[in-house]
Amino acid sequence: MSQSFNLHAAYNGLSFGNVSIALTREMLKRGLTPAIFPIGGQVDLATQKPDADFNQKLGHLINSAQQRASRKSPTIKLWHIQDSLASYSERGNDLLTFFELDALTPSEVNILRNQRRVYVTSTYTQQVFSQFGIQSIYLPIGFDSHNFLQLPIRPKIVDPKAGPVTSFLMAGKLEKRKGHFQVLNLWAKRYGNKPQYRLNCAVHNPFLKQEDMNAMIAQALEGKTYWNINWLPWSATNAEYNTVLQSSDIILSCSGGEGRDLPCYHATAMGAHPIALRAHAYLDYLNDDNAILINPNGKTPAVDGVFFHGGQPFNQGNLFTFSPEDFYAACDEAERRAKIGINLRGIELQRKTYSEAVDILLKDL
């Protein structure tokens, strides 16, 4: 099959990059040969499990794109709304975008109206877009089986005095939106320096300086230190991250707004028990059987002075909030489930693959 289309996507180790690579891998398995234009002109596959055949095919489709591309062909683009007005196609883009907030700005509405089609990775985002007159298609993002594999035995800590340890994980790029600072503060106040508990933090943010991250963390912890909070280094490869996501019994995924939350999805699919909000993208793959869900208690402006700035033409809106009491109740339930065993219902998420997403994209082409 060699249906003609252009593919404009990121190829790196971040969220957009991992999704782009997984979708491209599925397309190439089917014999598709799109003209590929890497966003930013760069390709970085260092985080991926080595795959010489895929790398060779990808390189060929990139190097030959200028010879084969046609503006009469549709263009699938995976990127942010604010940089998606331009297209390699005279028809506009078939844009797949992540979106985390509850409102669109006039600039975002205009850009979305100029797309041929719009795909979103959560049904909540689909509802938000609809309120602003933007029709979109839900594109489910599945389990990346090329890079992630359930370990036969999960790491387990046994404290010499306290016995088996209940371990928690906090993952994703460190920022207010993901609830990291509130969760860190609440966890430390209840479990800090208690030998029967550990918190593993894989929250490095490549867009922040280390000293800035340290200051934010110190503020969240109110200047105190805790020996049972482990700060994990940046995972250079998905193989390393695969182990990180299976390092703990419970993953704390209390983000106020998500387009998908790939760490939560993959950790749950490999057996972790997630604590998450009953909101936004989480509701597309989490439920009371495979997760411990917290009912939101309100909303707060997304403005943080770092990634979300007030009065700008993009990314204006609100995030869901939750109460400390509901968080602690969820922790109690998660600990109860973790003592029984791994999340068997969560493992069922491995059945959802990128094949379904590619089927949807190709059907609309």
Task: Write out pLDDT tens, residues 168-209.
Answer: 999 999 999 999 999 999 999 999 999 999 999 999 999 999
Beta bridge partners of 341: none
- The length of the chain in residues reads 365
Q: What is the pLDDT of residue 272?
A: 98
Q: Is the pLDDT of residue 2 over 90?
A: no
Q: What is the pLDDT of residue 157?
A: 86
Q: Is the pLDDT of residue 365 over 90?
A: no
Task: Write out pLDDT tens, residues 247-256.
Answer: 999 999 999 9
The Cα angle at residue 113 between residues 317 and 177, in degrees rounded to 5: 20
Q: Is the pLDDT of residue 95 over 90?
A: yes
Q: Is the pLDDT of residue 1 over 60?
A: no
Task: Write out pLDDT tens, residues 231-282.
Answer: 999 999 999 999 999 999 999 999 999 999 999 999 999 999 999 999 999 9
Q: What is the pLDDT of residue 160?
A: 87
CB count within 10 Å of CB 304 equals: 14
Q: What is the DSSP letter of 116?
A: S
Q: Please choose, from the candidates 170, 217, 173, 193, the residue with its C-alpha nearest in 3D space to the C-alpha of residue 307.
A: 173
Q: Is the pLDDT of residue 3 over 80?
A: no
Average pLDDT of the chain is: 96
Q: Could you tell me where the DSSP H helices lie in 195-290?
A: 210-220, 238-244, 262-269
Residue pair 6/73 in contact by the 8 Å Cβ criterion: yes
Beta bridge partners of 318: 301
Q: What is the pLDDT of residue 133?
A: 98
pTM for the whole structure: 0.96
Q: Is the pLDDT of residue 216 over 60?
A: yes
Residue pair 274/292 in contact by the 8 Å Cβ criterion: yes
Query: What CA–CA distance (Å, rounded) separates 363 from 365?
Result: 6
Share of the chain above pLDDT 90, in %: 96
Q: What is the pLDDT of residue 196?
A: 96
Residue pair 130/107 in contact by the 8 Å Cβ criterion: no
Band (pLDDT 50/70/90 cuts) for residue 158 is confident
